[in-house]
Chains A and B, each alone.
Chain A
Amino acid sequence: DTTVKQNPRYKLARVGKPVNLICSQTMNHDTMYWYQKKPNQAPKLLLFYYDKILNREADTFEKFQSSRPNNSFCSLYIGSAGLEYSAMYLCASSPGLGGSSYEQYFGPGTRLTVL
């Protein structure tokens, strides 16, 4: 089973309000990722957890937070949503960073609309 689950599937948020998105996987994967995808653009990596270590991309460092309370769950937190945060947020997981285990398995995404 290569299922990655995301909740909610759709999220409506007000400008300036916080947003918390949830992702889970039961494959015991070491690494979990969060991507932002806007229409007609490639997915953009926001951050990833390798085990308990969080790595955030330099250009989104201050905009997004994340937590991984256990191997199966990972959240994405936006402290104060802006209109530019409207996008599809994709969670993915992979078995590890090294070796041949580079395939990432994506969840169905959460479509965030900020009004």
Chain B
Amino acid sequence: AQKVTQTQTSISVVEKTTVTMDCVYETRDSSYFLFWYKQTASGEIVFLIRQDSYKKENATVGHYSLNFQKPKSSIGLIITATQIEDSAVYFCAMTINNAGAKLTFGGGTRLTVRP
């Protein structure tokens, strides 16, 4: 079975700085997919970025990027030039090829961006 762990329960940063959120995962499968989602204050969960296990390049979307360290089973989310509206709970998640599309989520990291 898969397992996703986010050890940071909360982080606080000053706006316009860079923040990294950690995530480690466990799986016996050689092919898997890693995701980061953001839960806004209203409760809505929004897909941010993904990393496919077979890709060596770190994914980047807007001011989100990933630090994929496969040997360490680690997929960190990096947010550059943080803004107040980036304040949210961030979830790391994974799925594998034959898991019936089941997403396994980490416990989440609450990010607070302050002026």
Which residues of A come within 8 Å of B, CB atoms? Answer: 31, 33, 37, 40-43, 45, 48, 50, 55, 88, 90, 92, 94, 97-98, 100, 102-109, 111
Contacts and interface: CB of A to CB of B under 8 A. Distances in A.
Contacts of A37: 43
Contacts of A108: 42-44
Interface stretch (B11-19, B67-75, B77-85, B93-101): B93-101
Contacts of A97: 100-101
A109 B44 contact: yes
Contacts, number: 56
Contacts of B106: 42
Interface residues of B, number: 22
Contacts of B33: 100, 102
B107 interface: yes
B101 A102 contact: yes
B101 A94 contact: yes
Nearest to B44: A108
Given A106-B44, A106-B46, A43 B100 contact: no
B108 to A, nearest CB: 6
A42 B107 contact: yes
A33 B101 contact: yes
8 contacts: A40-B108, A43-B45, A48-B102, A55-B100, A102-B101, A103-B47, A103-B50, A109-B45
Contacts of A31: 101
A48 B101 contact: yes
B103 A104 contact: yes
A42 B107 CA distance: 5
Contact of B102 (A45, A88, A109): A45
B2 to A, nearest CB: 12
Contact of A104 (B42, B47, B52, B100): B47
Contact of B43 (A45, A88, A98, A104): A88
B25 interface: no
Contacts of B95: 102
B97 to A, nearest CB: 7
B107 A111 contact: no
Interface in B10-67: 33, 35, 37, 42-47, 50, 52
